[in-house]
Amino acid sequence: MTALIGIDWGTTSFRAWRMGAGGEVLDRVDDGPGILAAAGLPGGFRQAMQDRIGSWLGTAPVIASGMITSRNGWIETPYLPLPLDAAALAANLTLHEGIHFVTGAVSDPDGPAPDVMRGEETEIIGHLSGGGGDGLFVLPGTHSKWARAEGGALTGFRTVMTGEVFGALRDHTILGRLIQPGPGSEDAFRRGVEAGRQDGALLGRIFSARTLALMDRLAPDQVADYLSGLLIGDEVAQGTRDAGGPVTIIGRGDLALRYQTAFAVLGIAARITPPGMAQRGLWEIARMGKLA
């Protein structure tokens, strides 16, 4: 019997779970159009959802998190201020066209550098609801999120545009001209992390990706890994500057492993959470909201 249908709907990704009475996963969909693609389809978001999980619909409440509640999503919802826990997210669900939308979070809205997230708050709730402790988190991605949880609530976060800037540097600056594709070089990545952890202007240090290649001290098929390491190394060194204790990586696949390598190079304890944080967070928020 289906108790809840959960959707994590991001800019470029769509994942959904059909859950049973104890929150266990009965069925899952791991691919589908992100909001950018779905918005352009005939029938839009509703049809995109129908196409992927139509056979589930009507059997249980639907809850959704992620960029689907942004200006370019299905419905734009306000950001909630910090501190933010599962109860506050549950109390602020937006019911629209039969779907319970989890809204995003805002950090320091009146300060000089406000910040926002949509979706990652649910993953952090998933971690906390499963007995994971407070502490410092990184959620690597196109826009990495560094977040802190205290007393079971999200209390602060910062977006770092590492992934997107890497792509822009590789594809649209002089740094990319010497790059040749290759099998991937962990050694070059580690050299990059060492350059990234150093002090000094980041936009100066990245130039070493070019000069080392010009001087034949970095092979053309190593430049991209070096540059990736340099940006991630800078991010991790700065993100952990004032941190006490270990860092929890919420993420999957190659990118999470890259961050784990960077933490290792920097001598900082880090562990990757098991998969399923978004699904667990959706369950927890639904449970607090009496949906499941």
Q: Which residues of the chain form contacts with a copy of itself (CB under 8 A)?
A: 71, 109, 112-116, 143, 146, 158-162, 164-165, 167-169, 171-175, 194-195, 198, 200-208, 211-212, 214-215, 217, 231, 234-235, 238-239
DSSP 102: P
DSSP 174: G
Tell the smallest beta-carbon distance from residue 290 to a copy of itself (Å): 32
Query: Do 33 and 41 touch, CB atoms closer than 8 A?
Result: yes
Q: Which two tokens stand for residue 36?
A: 């950018």
Which residue's CB is nearer to a copy of itself, number 17 or number 79?
Answer: 79
Which residue's CB is nearer to a copy of itself, number 213 or number 292?
Answer: 213
Which residue's CB is nearer to a copy of itself, number 169 or number 224?
Answer: 169
Which residue's CB is nearer to a copy of itself, number 55 or number 173?
Answer: 173
d(CA 33, CA 49): 9
Which residue's CB is nearer to a copy of itself, number 122 or number 159?
Answer: 159
Tell the smallest beta-carbon distance from residue 78 to a copy of itself (Å): 11
d(CA 114, CA 81): 11
Tell the smallest beta-carbon distance from residue 240 to a copy of itself (Å): 11
Q: Which two tokens stand for residue 119?
A: 């979706």
3-state secondary structure of 177: helix
Tell the smallest beta-carbon distance from residue 9 to a copy of itself (Å): 18
3-state secondary structure of 245: coil
Q: Which two tokens stand for residue 102?
A: 């989890």
Tell the smallest beta-carbon distance from residue 140 to a copy of itself (Å): 13
Tell the smallest beta-carbon distance from residue 120 to a copy of itself (Å): 14
Tell the smallest beta-carbon distance from residue 112 to a copy of itself (Å): 6
List, edge to edge, every strand of the sheet that includes 115-117. 80-81, 105-107, 115-117
Which residue's CB is nearer to a copy of itself, number 50 or number 72?
Answer: 72
Any idea which residue has 């306000």 for tokens? 78
Which residue's CB is nearer to a copy of itself, number 1 or number 203?
Answer: 203
* Sequence-separated contacts (24+) of 43-52 with Cβ below 8 Å: 44/74, 45/73, 45/74, 46/97, 48/14, 49/7, 52/14, 52/16
